[in-house]
Amino acid sequence: MALRMWASSTANALKLSTSVSKSHLSPAFSISRCFSTVLEGLKYANSHEWVKHEGSVATIGITAHAQDHLGEVVFVELPEENSTVSKEKSFGAVESVKATSEILSPISGEVIEVNKNLTGSPGLINTSPYEDGWMIKVKPSSPAELESLMGAKEYTKFCEDEDAAH
Amino acid sequence: MRSPRTLEVWRLGTVNYLKSLKIQDKLVSERKSHQIPDTLLSLEHPPTYTLGKRRTDHNLLIPQSQLTKIGAELHYTQRGGDITFHGPHQAILYPIISLRSIGFGARNYVETLERSMIEFASMYGVRARAGNKCETGVWVGDRKIGAIGVRISCGITCHGLAFNIDPDLNYFEHIVPCGIADKEVTSLRRETDALLPKEEVIHKQLITCFAKAFSYDDVVWKEDPSFILDTKDDG
C-alpha cells in the first residue's frame, strides 16, 4: 500500500499518469530509472506494448516507459476496424520528435475497435498510456499467445535491465 | 562489460532520393536480421523536396507542376517530420542502427543526432543549439541549420539528418521549412568566417562527430560504394 501511494505521488510530481484512481489495476511495480509505472493485471511485450485481456476482447496500447522514451506524441496512425493484426508485426505508428516509430502488436487477431480520440488528441498516449491512450481492441485469434508475454514484475525487471545496460 | 560497437560508414556521393530509399530498405532488413552491423550512409541528393508521414503538402508553396521548372523532385516518405529540402552542398547522414542494442527510444536518438550536429558546428566556431519543444533540429539563434526526420521500425532506424553546408537557400523559399513559418534557414557558410575545407573533409568531420556522440568504438570506412549503389531492385 505504501509503495502504491509513493508511486502515485511520485508520478503526480513528475506529471505522469498512474491510472490508480480509475480502475482495479494497481501500480504494484513502478520503480525504474525513468520512474515509469507498470500495472498489475496487464501483459507486456518486449517492444513495450501492453495487453489487457477481458473475456474475448484484448485492448492494446504502449506503456508508460515507451511514451517516456518517445517524447511528446503528435500523430498516431492506426489500422482500420476489421483488419487483422499479427503477433510482433507492425499495426500502426506514432510520431514524436520528428521520428515515426512503428507499434508492434503483442498478439494476433481481428481489430474490432480503434481509439478515434487519438486522431485529435495524440498526446493521450503520453498523459494516459494505460487508460485514455489505448490504441486498438482486438479479438484474439490465438489466446495462447498471451501466455508468452511478460507479467508486470517481469516487465519491470526487463525495463530496468534495458536501461541499466547502457 | 559491454561488447565493442562498430559502425560501418559508406560515403556515396550524390544519390537520387528514390535510390537512397531502396538502399535503406535493404540495409534495414539486413540490420534486423543481424547480417550487418550498425551502418551509416553519408551522401547528398540532387534538388529534392520530401514530405513525412503526415503528408503536410500544404507546406509546399508552389504547385507540384512547377517543380521540374526549378529542377527539383518531390517525394512522400514514412519518416517523421514535415516538409524539407535536400540538395547539393547539404551533408546528409542516414544511420541504419539498432536502438535496442543501446536502449534508446526515439527521444534519446533524436537528441543524440542533434548533439552530433551541434558538436560538428562548434568545430567551425558556430554556436548551435537543439530546437525548443516541437522544433526538433539544430538552430543558430532563430535560424535553422540542421534538420532531422527519422523512421524507427522494430528498433532499427532509417532516414536521418541533413546539415546545411552551403546549399542554395533559395530552394527553401518554396516551402514552409519543417512546417515552421517565420523562421529562417541558414548554412555553415553563412554562419562562419572560417575557411571551409573540401566537402569530403567536412563530411568526414560530421561522420566523426556522429560516431563520437553514439559512442562507437570502431569506425570502418567502406571503400567501394558501388557495392551498395549497384543494389538490384528486388521488386
pLDDT over 60 at B233, yes or no: no
pLDDT per residue as tens, chain A (166 positions): 444 444 444 444 444 444 433 444 555 554 444 456 899 999 999 999 999 999 999 999 999 999 999 999 999 999 999 999 999 999 999 999 999 999 999 999 999 999 999 999 999 999 999 999 999 999 999 989 999 999 999 999 999 888 876 6
Q: State the ipTM, two decimals.
A: 0.91
Q: Is the Cβ pair B104, A69 closer than 8 Å?
A: yes
**Average per-residue pLDDT for chain B:** 93
- Residue B170 burial by Cβ neighbours in a 10 Å radius (0-12, 13-18, 19+): exposed
Please tell me what DSSP assigns to residue B4: P
* Catalytic center residues of B: 178
- Asked if A15 reaches chain B (Cβ–Cβ under 8 Å), the answer is no
Chain B environment of A162 (Cβ under 8 Å): 103
DSSP states of B107-134: HHHHHHHHHHHHHHHHTTT---EE--TT
CA distance B158 to chain A (A): 10
Contact at 8 Å (CB) between B89 and B165?
yes
Kindly provide the residue ranges of all beta strands, DSSP E only, lying in chain A, ordered along the sequence.
43-44, 49-54, 57-62, 73-77, 84-85, 90-96, 99-104, 109-114, 136-140
A73 closest CA partner among A97, A104, A39: A97
- Cell 508485426 locates to A89
Query: How many other C-beta atoms lie within 10 A of the C-beta of residue A8?
Result: 19
Query: Cell triple for residue B166?
Result: 552551403
Element (H, E) at B149: strand B143-153
Query: What pLDDT is attached to residue A26?
Result: 55
pLDDT over 90 at B154, yes or no: yes
Residue of A86, A100, A158, A166 to mutate, interface with B, max B Cβ within 10 Å: A100
3-state SS track over A6-53: HHHHHHHHCCCCCCCCCCCCCCCECCCCCCCCECCCCEECCCCEEEEE
Amino acid A71 reads G
Rounded CA gap, B99 and B152, in Å? 9
Element (H, E) at A164: helix A152-164
pTM: 0.88
pLDDT over 70 at B84, yes or no: yes
CA distance A64 to chain B (A): 12
Nearest-Cα residue of chain A relative to residue B105: A69
